[in-house]
Amino acid sequence: MTDLFRLDGKVAVVTGGGRGIGLMMARGLLQAGASVYLSSRKEAELDAAVEALSPLGRVSAVPADLGTAEGVAALTAAVTGREDAIHALFNNAGAAWGAPYEEFPESGFDKVYNVNVKGVFLLTRALTPLLNAAATEDDPARVINTGSIDGIVAPGKGRDNFSYSASKAAVHMLTRHLAGELAPKILVNAIAPGLFESRMTKEMLRAGSDAVGAGMPLGRIGQPDDIAGISVFLASRASAYITGAVIPVDGGVSTIS
């Protein structure tokens, strides 16, 4: 049974892997036996992540701005130069923007959409040959996109992340669309996280994780193992019959509250 969930011999790419949720994903994947490439813009952050994760397995970093076609090409070239096949691509890099409705700048849409939506499409397409090369009949390759519960339930009045919520709904639909396009060799699913501690959620957690979590259906915010568990599952043979799914990992926030 444990074989179903092991990732030994598999290669994964995790964008936004230098910190936050991407780092939680990378740690879980390495612990399950995969080799991991991390990518994001800040080289120093990537280096620190590689140093911290190296005891767990083979991990390396490729700095790239994935909101641009050039950055996508650079990451693709780096990985293609070193690997013949990629078993799992985690499109997790993401950006957010907050500003009052009346003042929300056009650039707040461009920046967020470039990384959260366009970059996901371009990188998936660029790595499709390597993903196809990894696919087998009983264990297809995987694309796992990071969406958000903000793309499922509209943020309430005063939560001024207009381009972010719209971009995450787009990620969920792109997940379903690409699942159809890339079947049967590549499965495409999305994780829709609730609230996890990261740079992006610093403001939302100002009152403290325990206080904020207490108001949630499961009485807590998300923890690193909650991300590791779903990430390993979606990269493993255990999920070989799931594609086009958007899975909330939110302690019930989007469904119960």
The size of the interface with ligand NAP (CB under 6 A), counted in residues, is 28
Q: Per-residue x/- mask for ligand NAP, residues 210 to 249, rule CB under 6 A? A: ----------------------------------------
Contact range with ligand NAP by CB under 6 A, out of 6-14, 34-42, 130-138, 174-182: 34-42
CA distance 123 to 43: 19
**Cβ closest to ligand NAP, residue 24 vs residue 186:** 24
Element (H, E) at 5: helix 2-5
CB of 202 to ligand NAP, least distance (A): 9
Interface with ligand NAP (CB under 6 A), residue from 35, 148, 236, 239: 148
User: Using the 8-state DSSP alphabet, how is residue 12 labeled?
Assistant: E
CA 121 from centroid of its chain's CA atoms:
13
**Cβ closest to ligand NAP, residue 140 vs residue 197:** 197
- For the beta carbon of residue 107, count every other beta carbon within 10 angstroms: 11
Interface with ligand NAP (CB under 6 A), residue from 201, 231, 236, 254: 201
| Both structure tokens of 21 | 């949720």
Contact range with ligand NAP by CB under 6 A, out of 51-59, 98-106, 195-203, 209-217: 195-203
CB of 117 to ligand NAP, least distance (A): 11
Cα angle 39, 40, 46; round to 5: 75
CA distance 65 to 204: 26
- Residue whose token pair is 């796992």: 144
Which residues does the annotation mark as catalytic?
164
Residue 1: burial class (beta carbons within 10 Å; 0-12, 13-18, 19+): exposed
128 binding ligand NAP? (CB under 6 A): no
CB of 198 to ligand NAP, least distance (A): 3
| Both structure tokens of 190 | 């999305």
| Cβ-contact 246, 147 below 8 angstroms | yes
Q: Which residues bind ligand NAP (CB under 6 A)?
A: 15-16, 18-22, 40-42, 45, 65-67, 92-95, 115, 146, 148, 193, 195-196, 198-201
